[in-house]
Structure 1
Amino acid sequence: MNNPEINNSKRNNSSEEEIDLNKLFNSVGKGISNFFKGLFRVFFLFLDTVTANLKIIGLLIIIGGILGLAYTFIARPYYESRMTLGSVYYRGQFINNSILSLDLLCKEKNFNAIANILQIPKPKAANLKSIQIEPIVSPSTQLLIDLYKETEGNKRRLDSLILSTEDTTFQIKVQVFDTTALNGLDTSIVNYILKNKFVKKRIEIERVNLKSRKAKLIKESASLDTLKRSIALSYRMPAAGRSGTNNVILDDKGTNPIDIYREDLRFYDQIIKIDRLLYINSELEIIDPFIAYGKSVNGSKVKNTLIGLLAGLILALLLIIAKVINTGLTKMKLILKREDNL
């Protein structure tokens, strides 16, 4: 038999669950509605604040444009150029300290010292703003460096790669106030680098090593020439007892003539490379000299004016946002006070 009290309790429980779900859905709907209402209120409050402060916004934009234009006349225009250097004896890192000392003198505006060091006139030295050195890394090497950086546990490999692939080609970047200061500046900087005692010592050592290696290669090549003559004589001898192979028996050892001729050609190529290095005297070679560009780095009148206008607009927007936040906080305080009074 069904107990009427049990049935009534079940009906009451189900009705209470339905009421709870309705309350939940209603509260969620009200929360979403209040969220979008709040967004609209903030948006319209922002528009009202902008409308009420149009004069201030316009004034800030105009002031920014005027300051940008004034910067063009106040700031001294400067120009940038790069010189590419190459070396077979040492790497760009070795001369970094020499270039750094020049840059420090430029920042200190010690033009007398710069003129004495570079052997240039003082007015020309006064037009130097900065001198910096930058290594040139090949795209393939940079790709490997980025790959090792992204992979954990490759610090040792990364350090080894950087040390072993450090390029001997580098750039010297200069900033000058007058492009005429670039005339002959590349030669002056190269001569200054070559006067460095460490650099001169390294160049001397490398040249001695190249000459020693050349002498050794010539000696080895002469030995191969003797061996080639012996092989040629063995081929001219009667072919009695010779097998049909390309091997020649000298001192009871099998010798392949093709390998000997290839080795001799390899020695010859190395001797030519050493002669080229010694002949061109490429301890420091100018690959690309400084080029004078007419466009200044610190921008034109139009560019600086536009930057000033944009800066004024950003400042005005920040001011509007600050006012909107202040208004919102004031309203929140009033609402909290009313709730406390109730």
Structure 2
Amino acid sequence: MSNEEQKPQQSEEVDLGQLFKVIGKGFERFFKFIASIFIGIYKLVIALLAHFYICKIWYALAIIIGFCIGYYLDSKTVKSYGANMYVETNFNSARQVYENVKQLDQLTSDQDSLRLASILNIEPSQAAKLKGFFISPSIDENQVAEMYSGFYTKLDSLSRTEMTYDRYVKSLTATNYPIHQIGVRATDKSIFKTIEPGVKQKLIDNPYLENLVLANKRNLEMEEAALLSQIQKTDSLANEYLKIRINESRKEPVQGSGTNLYMAGDSDSNGLLVDESKVIEKRLHLEELRREVNLRKAEEFGVLNIISGFPQTGYDIRKWTDKKKFVYPLVLFGLTFAFFAFLGLGKFLEAESKK
């Protein structure tokens, strides 16, 4: 029995030994494969460095020639300048603003300088220098969160469970944002301040919106007049109450007597005396409402508010890829490398064909 038990144990040891050998060979091959990759990369880098060192004169000439050609072409090319204006739209006028900007951009694309000059009230020669109009919303994450908070409070209980913040943000379009960036591209860096009045007038060119501005202005003036009247009445009430207080303070106190004064409309006072602090609080509240009306008069003065106008001069909006003095050296460098690579491939194929 003992011999029979030893034979299976020996066979198991042999199987485990072979398994470990196979695993060891697998790791060895894997590490050799990784090492071969690094060795191949190292040889490739050395070969490239050797090639560039041998042909350094050719590559230097390609870069110098490309830079000179690109610099010459850049000097002959008309520069493009850009500037931005930031506006805040009122009375849901963002759609009208976007449509008007698209019209201006189409006129520049069609090179219709006469009509563009008539709209912006400038000379046709100046209008010909305008190359494009652009508009996009100015997105502020904090402002979006405030918009979502205001929108969320207006929803019923069922809609609140479905309308998440991410879903709300995805539902927003460019016209839903209050502030927008209007960009202009031109070949004259001094034209932007000149066209600003015309651009503003074109953006608000809508009789319906202009009537809304007039109606809102009248409403705010009426609201301010009503608040001013309430403030005057509150001041008069406070003065009368103060006189009563002074007169009562001069009298000799009689037990059980006193003067009661109640606020207008305070029918549920249950006989409680209203002191002057409530009158003062009401006046302060009215003053706060009046300040809010004055702020609204400033913010809603027109169809749109210019938060930031065009600068006095524009700035170069070209990227480095638009400058030929940078692009042409890279192109000639690549063509030179491709030429030598083609020559090297030809020699390799010729050598292989002789074997």
Same fold (TM over 0.5): yes
Deviations 1:182-226 (A, max 9, x none): 242212222223433243122122212212322332343344345
The residue aligned with 1:339 is none
Partner of 1:2: 2
Letter paired with 2:2: N
- Structure 1 residue identity aligned to 2:9: K
SS at match of 2:317: coil
Distance 2:171 2:234 in 1: 37
**Counterparts of 1:231-250 in structure 2 under 5 Å?**
231-238=241-248, 241=256, 248-249=261-262
The equivalent of 1:337 in structure 2 is none
How far apart are residue 117 of structure 1 and its match? 1.0
Aligned to 1:102: 104
- Give 1:14 deviation, angstroms: 1.4
SS at match of 1:72: helix
In the alignment, the residues of structure 2 paired with residue 116 and residue 198 of structure 1 have an alpha-carbon distance, to the nearest angstrom, of 22
| Structure 1 residue 235, shift from structure 2 partner | 2.1
Residues 273 and 249 (structure 1), Cα distance of their counterparts in 2 relative to 1, 3 Å cut: closer
Q: Match for residue 22 of structure 1? A: 21
TM-aligned CA deviation for residue 112 of structure 1: 1.5
8 Å contact from structure 1 (residues 89, 206) kept in 2: no
Identity level (%): 17
In structure 2, the partner of 1:39 is 38
Residue number in structure 2 paired with 1:305: 325
For the residue of structure 2 that corresponds to 1:179, the secondary structure is coil
Distance 1:64 1:306 in 2: 8
Cα 1:72–1:43 change in 2 (3 A) is same
**Offset of residue 52 of structure 1:** 5.2
The match for 2:311 is: 291
Structure 2 partner of 1:13: 12
CA distance in 2, matches of 1:144, 1:281: 20
SS of 2:133's partner is strand
- 1:204 matches 2:223: no
CA displacement, residues 279-328 of structure 1 (integer Å, 9 cap, x when unaligned)? 899425545432244752226899652354456667888x69x99xx99x
Q: 1:294 to 1:259 in 2, by over 3 A?
A: same
Residue in 1 that maps onto 2:156: none
CA contact (8 A) 2:67 2:328 kept: yes
Deviation at 1:106, TM superposition (A): 1.6
Residue pair 1:87, 1:282 contacting (<8 A) in 2 also: no
Instruction: Indicate if the aligned counterparts of 1:145 and 1:161 stay in contact, CA closer than 8 A.
Output: no
Paired residues, number:
317
Q: How do 1:167-186 and structure 2 match up within 5 A?
A: 167=178, 169-186=179-196
Residues 1:154 and 2:170 are matched in the alignment: no
CA distance change for structure 1 residues 66 and 161 in 2, over 3 Å: closer, same or farther? Answer: same
Q: From the superposition, tell whether residues 301 and 310 of structure 1 become closer, same or farther in structure 2 (CA, over 3 Å).
A: closer
- Which residue is 2:83 aligned to? 81
Change (3 A) 1:312 1:140: farther
Does the residue aligned with 1:26 lie in a helix, a strand or coil?
Answer: helix
Cα distance in 2 for partners of 1:157, 1:268 equals 36
Matched, 1:258 2:260: no
Shift in CA distance, 39/299, structure 1 to aligned 2, threshold 3 Å: closer
CA drift at 1:174: 1.6
Shift of 1:107: 2.2
Separation (CA, whole Å) in 1 of partners of 2:131 and 2:88: 24
Structure 2 CA distance, aligned partners of 1:260 and 1:160?
Answer: 47
Q: Secondary structure at the match of 1:35?
A: helix
Deviations along 1:4-50, whole A, 9 cap, x unmatched?
x5424432431242133113202320231133124313542464367
Counterpart-to-counterpart distance in 2, 1:315 and 1:91: 53
Match in the other structure for 1:114: 116
The amino acid that maps onto 2:228 is I
CA gap 1:67/1:114 in 2 versus in 1, 3 angstroms: same
Deviations 1:142-178 (A, max 9, x none): 6778999xxx932465489999x944x5443222101
SS in 1 for 2:2: coil
Q: Please tell me whether the aligned partners of residues 92 and 135 of structure 1 are also in contact (alpha carbons under 8 angstroms).
A: no
Aligned pairs (5 A) from 1:265-280: 265-271=284-290, 274=293
| SS at structure 1 position matched to 2:16 | helix
- Residue 154 of structure 1 aligns with an amino acid whose one-letter code is Y
Q: Does the 8 Å contact 1:221/1:267 carry over to 2?
A: yes
The one-letter code of the counterpart of 1:296 is: D
